Every structure is written in C-alpha cells, then in structure tokens.
Structure 1
Amino acid sequence: MTAADGLYIGLMSGTSVDAIDAALVRFTHKDGRLHADCLHALAQPWDEPLRKRLLVLGQGIDVSPIDEFGELDHAVGAAFAIAANRLIAEAGIERAQVTAIGSHGQTLRHRPYAKHPFTLQIGDPNLVVERTGITTIGDIRRRDMAAGGHGAPLLPALHAALLHDASEDRAVLNLGGIANITLLPASGDGVRGWDTGPANALMDIWCERHTGERYDRDGAMAAAGRVDPLLLDRLLDDPWFATPPPKSTGREHFHMRWLESRLRSGESPADVQATLAELSTRTVADALNSTLPNVQRVLVCGGGVHNPVLMAKLATQLPQATVESVGHHGIDPDHVEAIGFAWLARQTMLGLPGNLPSVTGARGPRVLGAVYPA
C-alpha cells in the first residue's frame, strides 16, 4: 500500500471539548477524484476534571503556570494515544497497516490578530507516537500562521476534493463550537472558507450552567424560548462579525464573559438560548448570502447537525438552498474533522500542501506539521 493510497488515522478535539474524535480512513483515487472511506470511528470521552480545566484555560481567563501547562500537554497527549489505540483495537487492524496519524491536539489559544500572531494546541505528539508505534504528524496549524495565515480553517481543500459538484454552487458548513464555511462554486474556481462565529460553544456553556446538561439535546432549551431582538443586536454589534475574511476565532473570544457583558437583567435562560441559536445561524446565513448568494446546497457537519432548531433556522434563512447533512453524501457528519486530520497527515507524508492560501491568507501553499517517526 502506498502513502498516497493507504490507511491513516485522524485525531481531533474541537472547541466544544466534548470528546476526542478518532477516525480510521482509507484514501484512494478513482475516476480522477479523491475518495475517503471511513472504516471505523469513535468518540473517546474526556476525563471530566481534565475537560473542565481545558474549558477554563481555553477561554483565556487565566494564565497557567508552566508546570501545569506541561502536565496538561502530557495528559492530552496520553488521552489522544488512548483514543488511537482504542480505534486500532476496535477496527481489528495491524498497526503496520497505518501509514501515519494526524493528531490535532486541543487548542488552548488562537490569537491570529495579536501583535505576534500565534496558535497553541497541546497534546504531546511524542506520547502519541511512543504509545501507538505509528508515525505521527503534530503541530499542524503553526506553519500556515508562520507564513502569514490564520492557521484555520484547514479543511476546505478536502471539502473541495470530496464534495464539489460541477452542476451546482455548494457550501460546506461545520457547526462545531465555532461555525466555519467552505464555498464550493460549481465552476471550481475561488474555493474560500472562514469562521463565521460561534455555533455550539456559547449554547453549550449556557445550557450547562442552567440545566447541568453539557449541550442542548435536540435544541429543546432553545425551542422553549423566544429570540430577544435587543440582545441579538448587542451580540451582533461585536466588530469581529464585520471583519472581512480571511478570519478565524475561538473560545478565547466567544466565551461566557463575552456573553455576560451583553446581557441585561430579566432575560430568561431559554430566551438567551434561543437568541444564541439565532446568532449562530444568522451569522452563517449572512456570510453565505453576501458571498455565494445563489448557493443551492448547504452540506452540514459537526455536532450542530443534530440540533433541529439550528437546522430549521438555517433552512428558513437560506430559502434558496437545500440544507442537509453531509451524511446524505456518504460522509459521517460527526467525524468530518477527524477524517480531515487523517487527510492532512497524508498530505504531509506525501510532501503536499495542506493549506489553501485563499482560505487562510497565507503567503502560499505550505506542507504542514512536524513528523514524529515511529
């Protein structure tokens, strides 16, 4: 099996810090197109105390001492190795069959607008390669940022390879903690992508605060409330939303303090949740209507695809388009990002770029990540 047509593992934990997603993927070329066959996937739960600490640090509220940072880097790396080993065992494959692992780690900071821009993902790749025995690609975002880019989003090139259709204008929408879009014009020209704002990040922490549940299952809390137009205006007034792409963001910007600073006394928790859902979908719809107004199909992935309130709002706000899960096109919506980091590992092993400068704003295509050989 060649590095081009082979088995890869992708490991990813996103802004929501809900689980480590792991995917075993076989990449092949047929009929002149790339095909990604996800053979097995799983979501490895975080140890709860570790998850809560990562959530606190990810909001940029405090500065962690060096010793704690080192321990967290080790703990996250060990957790990623556990997820990879569990995936291998459940899939029933030999380790030698896997060409490489693409390990994203857990983002603690993403500061593309700082005087000295940086992005920081923890999860020591040395532990992943040592405990799995499989070559690991880590530190995947920072090369793009060193080249003047945002280091995000990184998957629009894969979206284009797997989901472009010459017969219609499409967009791929990832509703993770943060929402990001990929524009796929039928012409195949001008593939672009960027973060549009919070998707589940604020809804999750608001729901957990008021119900004890880690997320708003089936959108029940949002469905029980009404959109508060004055609160929505205050949320949308953040200058970040008017920033032109390329752009990216994270929990260090859209966190609980950001929300609390815009609340006034008297809003019910359900109304706030309904308004947060409206914020998520309105910013997506505004971005699409202003950049790809004739979009005919919006393919949704990420945890938000399971929230009927979000999906219904999108359908209403994008009446010209069919809004549907990428599952209708043979890709598991819960594991697109893990599949993506398997693909990024493949790109690195082949010496091929993993970024799209039209998306990230980098000075040019770059091979991403550092290789930790088995």
Structure 2
Amino acid sequence: MPGFALEPAQLTWCEELRTLAEERLRPLAEKGGSGELNRPLVAALGELGLLERLFTSGALDLCLMRESLARGCTEAETALALQGLGAAPVARAGTDEQRARWMPGVRAGRVVAGFALSEPGAGSDAAALALAAEPEPGGDAGSGAGGGTGSGAGGWRLSGEKCWISNAPYADFYTVFARTTPGAGARGITAFLVPADRPGLTGTALDMLSPHPIGTLAFDGVRVTAADVVGAPDKGFRVAMDTLNLFRPSVGAFAVGMAQAALDATLAHTAGRTAFGGPLKDLQSVSHRVAEMATRTEAARLLVYAAAAAYDRNEPGVPKSSAMAKLFATEAAQFVVDSAVQLHGARALQRGHLLEHLYREVRATRIYEGATEVQRTIIAKELYA
C-alpha cells in the first residue's frame, strides 16, 4: 500500500536506530538487573537525543523509534516508552512552571518519570479509580466539573494505592491520577505531578514476567497543591486518555519490532537448519507458517503506521484506529513470537535465548495500556456511535 510507504530518510533513520540499539544500548541493558531501573540506559537515551525527539515529534516518529529499538534492544525501547508515558502528561498539559522544572531533566535522561493510573481495583476500567484526593481545610469546595472539590485552593491529601506503575518505585516523579469528586466517574479525576520524595509516598517493586521496572505506590496522606495539578481539576481523565491515545499505536509498534526480530531469527534458522534430508524451509508446513508470520507482521505494521499518521493529522476516529492498531499488532506479535519458538524447538526455551526473552516480553503488550478486550470494546463503541 504506497500510501503508507516510509520516506527513504525515515527508512535510513530506522536502520540507524536499530544499529544504535544493538551496538550502543544493548551493552548497557545487559549490565542492568531484571526489573530494575537502568539509569545509565535512560541517560544514554538522553545523550543520544532520543528522549528529546520523543517529546518534540509526532506519533509516527514515536512508532518508528519504538519499533526500531525493539528489534535491537527491547530494554532500550521500554526505557524510552516508560519515560515518555510518565512525562507526556506534563509535556502536553502541564504548567509552564512544571515543564521548566522537570522536562529538561527528563529529556536529558537525568530525571525519570512514572505514569500512575492503574490500581488494584481499577485496571482496565480506569474511570473507576479510587485513590482519594481529600481537600484540606481552606480548600475551595466550589464547582468542579463534577460538582465536587473544584480548584482545591488549600490543597489535597492523597490516600490509597496504585499498582502496576511504570518505573515504580524508582522514578523521580509520577503523574498521578486521583479522585477529587466522589461518584462522578471519569468526570471527577484530577492529574497531579507528585515528586517521589513527598512525605507519605512509598513504593515497592513487583517481580513481573516481563523484565521491566514496575511496582506499587502507597499514598498515606501525601499532600499536593494547586501548583501540582496537571491540566485542570476534575479533568484528569482527559489527560490520561490523551496520553494513551498517543501511546497505544506505539505499543503496537513495540510489538511489531519484536515480531520482526522473531521473524528475522526464524528466517535465518529455518534456512540454515537441516532436518529430514534438507533445510527446514523446504518443508511446506514450515514455509507456510513463516509466510503467515511475515504477513501478520506486515499487516500489523501498516495498521500502526496508519493510526499514528491519523493521530498526527488530527483526523476523526483516532480512538478507533489507535485501538485497532494496538489490538491487531499485539495479537499478531504473540502469534509470531510463539511460532518462532515452535520452529526453533527446545533451544528457544533456554534462558538467555533471544526468543525466550521475546516470549516473556511480548505477552504483557496484550494487557497494558488497555487489554485486548478493552480495545475491542472501544472499537465496537466507535463503530456504533
């Protein structure tokens, strides 16, 4: 489909990124601990200008970065994405003071951000979150969007728990989504910029299948003020959804990058591995499976690029196209990586093998930033609107 063909300069940049990931970033990733924040890796992303580009370019560039880095070093891709997810609300909806204080360090890779939306009882249903923002004495109890705490002139106290939070408990600040108006659903949520050293904020790392820094956060009366609000009181759900609509196609790009890495490995293996008197690729069952892997990978890539381009052009229907891209690409990548493992045999199950690593990495993409089932719900809702 020529309408989605990349320009020669974009193709060259993607190859440069892949080489950079393999030669410069993977050695740093290999020195880090599984599930821990790798600050030297984040700093390298800043030094190489990738974090700067992350916050100054559009959705398609974000997808190209995530896909290319994933082919060469999934840890570098994830470090870039988590930094972007945590800081994008500040970059896009924060105050001038918030951006001036935090974004230079984020872009340089010296300051690490986290995105704190999910809770033990509010994962896929983000509007059901319960982290309470109780107004302090002197707060404005006037007309917020949900008829609740309004501007909170005297500040709020955050009490509750967040779970499955990116870069927790290691980040330097978190974009935290809390309920300022009880009973108002999505219309009663406010986004706050919360530095990690605020009294009452603690965190614990989680040991996840994917080797990413993910953890829980506990808020014991953590004080925030109007200066910490990202966007406007009771408008935080819009901030969260704007961020997720940007990043959902790029989750698909991450998946495409992993699928392509698995496909590349499978092509080399099946061409060189001899069985039953010839190379594996000469077995029809093998060649047909590889053809299916390649087709699903390319179809996913085109959906991702189309959704990202639509986002950059501010076209209508972005929630639907983003959901379609995320849904199809992550499901396709699961198929491709699983097929690659099957065609490689037992060697792919060894700890440290590329496909063993990709198999652990790819599974989470069908859950985070909206599970597959949620994407289908979004698509259906948009179709019937």
| Same fold flag (TM > 0.5) | no
TM-score normalised to the size of structure 2?
0.27
Structure having the larger proportion of residues in strand:
1
TM-score normalised to the size of structure 1?
0.28
Higher relative contact order at CA 8 Å, sep ≥6: structure 1 or structure 2? 1
Larger radius of gyration: 2
